[in-house]
Amino acid sequence: MGESSRFIDAPGTLNRHADFASRFVEPRHVDVWLPPGCAAEEGRRFPVIYMHDGQNLFDPREAYTGVDWGMDEAIVHLAGGGKIAEVIVVGIWNTPRRKQEYMPQKPTEGPEGHRVRAQLAEEYGGEPLSDRYLRFLVEEVKPFVDATYRTLPERESTFIMGSSMGGLISLYALCEYPEVFAGAGCLSTHWPAGEGIMVEYLRRALPRPGKHHIYFDHGTETLDATYEAYQRWVDKLMRAAGYREGVDWITRKFPGAEHTERAWQERVHIPLQFLLTQQRIRE
């Protein structure tokens, strides 16, 4: 597992742990971005946000569409204005098995998911691998990050975020590991995957409200145009489960927004502020 340090446009340092080995999934790069405070304040510890599709977060030369999320710039700007605490970002790169690794696995198990599981295997090139992917994240990546960097390792300071299928796996991670993650940011959540089977899973799997925070959003154009009906269903479910809108969870609609990295770049400051305020971290 190699390591290199790079400087990017915004203040801060990006360390790459190349070909991070795993017992559960195939190797991939893991990028760790350290905010300016890591160098300026020795001994200070920082919350951590784990993000999927790591190649799309920091460098447009590596991003899938040539547009990155600008996570470093967004955090530096928000923290500089006192709107969030500085945070370490861990970007886990995807692989050719992205859809298998990001498709929530347990919703497809059991008699009700048999047909969907077969369809997914045909469409994605194999059955879901998300339980193995989450073990990689929770049992291998997180312990490494906590041992290597000055993190706040507790649940209250650990978050997860992604877009599209990355939104699905972020929500699934929160449900499967509520003792590890305090909040999930789910941008343009790809609810149609598996014919929306994830929604029914939430009825029995959502963590109890009061200790976790969830952010949802969607646009209205391109692939995002298919999400609103599902999201309304999820919003009703959240209310029925006791989640307080605007406190425990928020859903945002962005008219005219497409399913692109540029769209997520333009609004990533909103989930960052919702999940990463000083009040949330102290809870």
Find, among 231, 189, 254, 272, the residue nearest to 239 by Cα: 231
Stretch 124-143: mean pLDDT = 96
User: Among positive and negative, which fits the CA dihedral 175, 162, 51, 278?
Assistant: negative
CB atoms inside a 10 Å sphere around CB 232: 12
| Euclidean distance between CA atoms 209 and 44, whole angstroms | 30
| pLDDT tens digit sequence for 217-234 | 999 999 999 999 999 999
Residue type, 228: E
Over 50: is that where the pLDDT of 5 sits?
A: no
Q: Are 47 and 33 in contact (CB under 8 A)?
A: no
Question: pTM of the prediction?
Answer: 0.94
Model confidence band, residue 200 (pLDDT cutoffs 50, 70, 90): confident
Strand partners, 48: 88, 158
Query: What CA–CA distance (Å, rounded) separates 239 from 249?
Result: 9
Percent of the chain with pLDDT over 70: 94
Which range among 5-14, 40-49, 103-112 shows the weakest confidence by mean pLDDT?
5-14
Cα distance between residue 2 and residue 18, in whole Å: 5
Other beta carbons within 10 angstroms of residue 50's beta carbon come to 26
CA pair distance 56, 164, nearest whole angstrom = 13
Among 186, 180, 169, 106, CA closest to 138? 180
Residue range 249-261: mean pLDDT, rounded: 98
- By CB atoms closer than 10 A (0-12, 13-18, 19+), residue 143 is exposed
pLDDT at 8 over 80: no
Mean pLDDT of the chain: 92
The reported pLDDT for the residue numbered 277 is: 79
Query: Is the pLDDT assigned to residue 1 strictly greater than 80?
Result: no
CA neighbours closer than 13 Å in the CB half-sphere of residue 187: 27
CA 169, chain centre distance (Å): 7
**Predicted confidence (pLDDT) at residue 41 exceeds the cutoff of 90:** no
The pLDDT of residue 280 is: 53
Q: How confident is the model at residue 6 (pLDDT cuts 50, 70, 90)?
A: very low
Domain 2-282 grouped into CATH 2.60.120.560: no
Separation of alpha carbons 56 and 38, rounded Å: 23
